[in-house]
Structure 1
Amino acid sequence: MATPLKLIRNFSIIAHIDHGKSTLADRLILATGGLSEREMTHGQVLDNMEIEQERGITIKAQTVRLNYTASDGETYELNLMDTPGHVDFAYEVSRSLAACEGALLVVDAAQGVEAQTLANVYQSIEHDHEIVPVINKIDLPAAEPDKVKAEIEEVIGLDASDAVLASAKAGIGIGEVLEAIVQRIPPPKGDADAPLKAMLVDSWYDPYLGVVILVRVIDGTLRKGAQVKFMAAGTTHLIDRVGCFRPKIEQLNELGPGEIGFITAQIKEVAQTRVGDTITDARRPAAEALPGFKEVQPVVFCGLFPTDAADFEKLRESLGKLRLNDASFSFETESSAALGFGFRCGFLGLLHLEIIQERLMREYDLDLITTAPSVVYTMHLSHSKNEDAQTIELHNPADMPDPNRIESIEEPWIEATIYVPDEYLGPILKLCQDRRGIQKNLTYVGGRAQITYELPLNEVVFDFYDRLKSMSKGYASFDYHQIGTREGDLVKMSILVNEEPVDALSMIVHRGTAEARGRGMVERLKELIPRHLFKIPIQAAIGGKVIARETISAMRKDVTAKCYGGDATRKRKLLEKQKKGKAKMREYGSVSIPQEAFIAALRMGEE
């Protein structure tokens, strides 16, 4: 029997990385008897990936249903959505928030409001949520709850006078948090007799059950054995299992309006289940889909190549398995003269790239070389003899068309919000200026500056985040969203070793920064490539124009060693002969660039 609407509360937890979101979720599960102390095998129960636990981040949205008997004697059904906090997963967060009526805003009592908290709170406000501020970690010696309350009011504009003071680790204030959820978050709305309308919040692959789909029912009832239709995908499926997580799996017969649970329907690929899709009854469909659905597009692209060429098939298989569980990244084969066969992969952002790379290395035991990440450029080409004028998207710098045909290139731009303590403000403003940033705003919140900059995404994907963290000793927090594309004076910079272009090292750069970037690259390669018996020029070039050059001197054999005394012309003759031999050798000799040199040259953050 479905729970009455007035006894359901759907909420998510919004917080910056490391503000105690997952620990609070653990405490709520314990307090409501979802799991016993003995069953809590590790902290952060909802973060079940090894990387999630290690880094203290949430990558996949998770849900748990809790039963709580409140002070008014009623037993409420609480559906908690544990959402990712990072900007790369912003679309997933927006769908998870759309499935809730309220949110707990968790802020660290020692650190205050951070950039990511802000981005997700504004999303939550857009969804018209009731937001309950929770000030966590009040047992820390550095905790300043009153200052944080003032900051929440000043920065976000929320009334924090009745914020709940808690410490998830010490178990302080958990009862007050549960009471605030019941009393302050409104119940969901819905009509059990209307045609079925449910939102697909998330999906993942289970080796035993196939694809497990997380759903929030808006109207109607979702029953086991029903024939359902996915409106955006246009596919129909038979539901074979309905249930919820407590956090252990519990099977149910149906999910009513306002409820959150999961379904399985013998679907083999996550790609068929798109986040934000509307699920409806195939026989009695809803008139229109739920708003807000969009296709997730990769933003950052890079090449992944196995260090050992024999691992190519293993890498293909591993990417296929990962894609079963994460439909938001794409991959296609590519080959490089220097690195052999590999894959061009598209990701939602830099953290997503890092996670996929780390999972490939750990879970599938692969050794990888990653080329420098690049973004998607829009090229407007003029017509030539054989081809009409056209607009193309460029993912790989090596595929750049003939420069004479390019009328203009557009690159993606972002708006970044950076929070930084006052003493580190100078270097960070300089960093943003150096990366072609346009300052939009600078305000102060307590002792911290809030800076808003518009920046080209190309300049951010390289090593911006590492620089930001090292300049601010880890205190700066950074969040961004895309604001469209703009025309830029962009050129392809090629690296030539012994006058041969190395495709894996080519990149698209802004003309203004090309010389510095090129000089840095050739200097680094000079140190990395071993000396040969002939001298090797290393050049950075734009088109036919060389903008930076270094030369690796030749190893010399002392051919005059056997000449002691005698006429100097004998020595000169031998040296001339050696010179000719070296020139010939350089003509036919090939330069072997060791893999380590590639890895070091492509490694980010060492400019």
Structure 2
Amino acid sequence: MKNIRNFCIIAHIDHGKSTLADRLLEFTKTVSEKDLQAQVLDNMDLERERGITIKSHAIQMDYEFEGEKYVLNLIDTPGHVDFSYEVSRSIAACEGALLIVDATQGIQAQTISNLYQAIEHNLEIIPVMNKMDLPNAMPEEVEDQIIDLIGCDREDIIRASGKTGEGVDEILSALIHRVPAPVGDADAPLQCLIFDSVFNSFRGIIAYFKVVNGSIKKGDHVKFFNTGKEYHADEVGVLRLDMEPRKELKTGDVGYIISGIKTSKEVKVGDTITHVKNRCEKAIGGFEDVKPMVFAGVYPIDAEDYEDLRAAMEKLQLNDASLTYEPESSAALGFGFRCGFLGLLHMEIIQERLDREFDMAVITTVPNVPYIAHTKKGEVINIHTPSELPEPTVLEKVEEPYIRASVITKSEYIGSIMTLCLGKRGELIKQHYLTADRVDLEFDMPLAEIVFDFYDKLKSISKGYASFDYHPIEFRAAKLVRLDILLNGESVDALSSLIHFDNAQVFGRRMCEKLKELIPRQQFDIAIQAAIGAKVIARETVKAVRKDVTAKCYGGDISRKRKLLEKQKKGKKRMKQVGNVEVPQKAFLAVLKLD
């Protein structure tokens, strides 16, 4: 056990951690030259194209140092804020972390949030300054920022470059000297922490785990603590580029277990594996179910594709356990699913994967967040769609989720960023200067306000310099109302939304104006109204396409014209009673881009 080192890499997006991981694998000869490619660990096409890590990966390396053989387990972590739960479980399975900071950009928001998680788990932090080969690197300034942040010595910071391989041998020796070996009791009852799972269409679900105490052998009868399910370990082994079966995994090892599990709900990240006979007293702490933060309806474009969409969703959930979904129907869009995502990037990735991997073209409704409604009778209702909100007569109060947002930016953009955040109902909590010209602003904001276009606006205001990170804190009471869109008095459920009372008037007016442009003219007038309960707050009218029935009257008595107009009016009235208004697909998408 003393020669095992478990470590992870934490960094902001685009600070080069996948490239540095490639160099480590190449240096320790874990990957042969013919298998070597950029971003070895990112095996999804989407990850390669966007240059982001979506799934965390684990890989084992052997390294000989000063005549002794060491086993290094790298547990890679995603960098994006939407996947922070995966990061926290990966961190819990390690004893050390490489903190990678881009020498050209300095410290950014996610670097800090992931670093705090690592410090909470008492990990040994090894600071690495990456991209030293670039001409615009600012090593002295960035070193000062790192020293301010973690209080290390200047000599502790390793200068490296993932591209050229500079500093990789220093990183490996620092891992061996500075990261402690895993601690655990080899004779205690078995305890393994699951930190990830993947789906294989031939073998079922494969769970990745770290052995905290005890040992696990092939064929053991094991139990998953939080789900209470029991299985036989058909195969256990370690993770190289491919999986390598082993007879036994001991304390401190990181490996995988295959036990023929078919449904994703039975394997939860953060769960504990133990033996059925000699079971451990309690599970490893820190387990929690993943909580979705953003909800949206996903509907097939053709109603016949509903069953195909269901099959696609099931397979996606096996690969991505943080996706939740349940069937729902809408008067406008037919049958579909109500899906829960970790954030907007997660929602975008799922849509993209449905399109690529399953060839499913889908419509996504307006994303919204979960609310809690309290009625006057004292009932508490969880609300995921606007239509579930009780009537104003029985409603006591509505609570919405709040987040603590951290924005790191250059000091010249502070004014415009504050204006943006305060306009989104945020409150400034604190302001902290990291260096003379970089500041960390903390806000409490409603999650609903950042769901739409907050991130894009933040990037454009700060010319791409601001970095953003958030975590949920609590539910707070707010003055929320349901805004309904009526077409000729009929409510369109897919267009209704829950919105703060102060913004309802403006939003309703903008919705009506937008729909007026998009709804095609009919033979009768169409009234587009935005209403809160029975009170209409905005209205637009799509005028009827009408034939000039008086064109044949040249002069003569007015009563002839009036008779023709009355006849036309009766026809229009009859048509309005039987005609219904088709809302084009573009209208649903336009609501998302109301700006």
Give 2:87's aligned residue.
93
Match status 1:468 vs 2:458: yes
1:38 equivalent in alignment to 2:34 = yes
* 2:538 corresponding residue in structure 1: 548
Decide which of 561, 565, 571 is 2:561's aligned counterpart: 571
Change (3 A) 1:423 1:531: farther
CA distance in 1, matches of 2:423, 2:196: 39
Does the 8 Å CA contact 1:192/1:220 hold for their aligned counterparts? Answer: yes
8 Å contact kept, 1:204–1:270? no
- The Cα of 1:179 is off from its aligned counterpart by 1.1
Asked if the contact 1:240/1:265 (under 8 Å) is kept, the reply is: yes
State the match for 1:118 in structure 2: 112
TM-superposed deviation, 1:596: 2.3
Q: Provide the C-alpha distance between the structure 2 equivalents of 1:508 and 1:183, rounded to a whole number of angstroms.
A: 55
**Residues 375-386 of structure 1 mapped to structure 2, 5 A cutoff:** 375-383=369-377
Separation in 1, partners of 2:525, 2:136: 60
One of 156, 160, 163 as aligned partner of 1:162: 156
Alignment counterpart, residue 500 of structure 2, candidates 489, 510, 529: 510
Aligned partners of 1:483, 1:129: CA distance in 2, in Å? 24
| Segment of structure 1 superposing worse, 445-454 or 406-415 | 445-454
Q: 1:352 to 1:281 in 2, by over 3 A?
A: same
Deviation at 1:569, TM superposition (A): 4.2
Which residues in structure 2 correspond to 1:51-70 (within 5 Å)? 51-70=46-65
Aligned-residue CA RMSD (Å): 1.5
**Which is further off, 445-454 or 74-83?**
445-454
CA spacing shift, 1:490–1:157, aligned 2, 3 Å: farther
For structure 1, which runs of at least 5 residues remain unmatched after alignment? 384-388
Q: Which amino acid aligns with 1:102?
A: G
Q: Which residue of 1 aligns with 2:482?
A: 492
Residue in structure 1 matched with residue 214 of structure 2 by the alignment: 220
CA contact (8 A) 1:205 1:269 kept: no
Aligned to 1:50: 45
> What residue number does 1:386 align with?
none
- Equivalent in 263, 273, 277 of residue 271 of structure 2: 277
Q: Is structure 2 residue 555 aligned with structure 1 residue 531? A: no
CA distance in 1, matches of 2:55, 2:68: 32
Given the alignment, which residue of 13, 18, 22 partners 2:9? 13
The one-letter amino acid paired with 2:64 is T
Partner of 1:140: 134
Partner Cα separation in structure 2 for residue 282 and residue 141 of structure 1: 59
Report the equivalent of 1:419: 408
Question: What SS does the corresponding residue of 2:291 show, helix, strand or coil?
Answer: coil
Q: Distance in 1 between matches of 2:364 and 2:164?
A: 42
The one-letter code sitting in structure 2 at the alignment partner of 1:113 is I
What percentage of aligned pairs have identical amino acids? 54
Question: Where in structure 2 are the equivalents of 1:318-329 lying within 5 Å?
Answer: 318-329=312-323
State how far apart, in whole Å, the 1-side matches of 2:321 and 2:206 are.
Answer: 13
How big is the shift at 1:565? 4.0
1:443 is aligned to 2:439: no
Residues of 2 paired with 1:160 and 1:580: CA distance? 87
**Cα shift at 1:443:** 2.5
Structure 1 runs of 4+ aligned residues shifted over 6 Å read: none
Q: Which of the numbers 375, 397, 416 marks the counterpart of 2:386?
A: 397
Q: Counterpart of 1:60 in structure 2: which amino acid? A: K
Q: For residue 211 of structure 1, what is the aligned residue in structure 2?
A: 205
How far 1:344 sits from its partner (Å)? 0.8
* Matching of residue 84 in structure 1 with residue 72 in structure 2: no
Q: Is the 8 A contact 2:510 2:594 kept in 1?
A: no
Shift of 1:32: 0.4
Query: Could you tell me which of 231, 240, 261 is aligned with 2:225?
Result: 231
- Write the letter of the residue equivalent to 1:483: I
Between the two proteins, the alignment pairs up a number of residues equal to: 594
TM-score by length of 2: 0.97
1:355 aligns with: 349
Q: How big is the shift at 1:89?
A: 2.0
Distance of aligned partners of 1:504 and 1:445 in 2 relative to their CA distance in 1, 3 Å threshold: same
| Counterpart residue identity of residue 594, structure 2 | E
- Structure 2: gaps (5+ residues): none
Q: Which residue of 2 aligns with 1:589?
A: 579
Alpha-carbon distance in structure 1 between the residues aligned to 2:396 and 2:587:
36
C-alpha displacement of 1:567: 4.0
**1:454 partnered with 2:444:** yes
SS in 2 for 1:374: coil
TM-score, with length taken from structure 1: 0.95
Segment drifting more, 374-383 vs 438-447: 438-447
CA distance in 1, matches of 2:411, 2:174: 35
Partner of 2:292: 298
Distance 2:153 2:424 in 1: 37
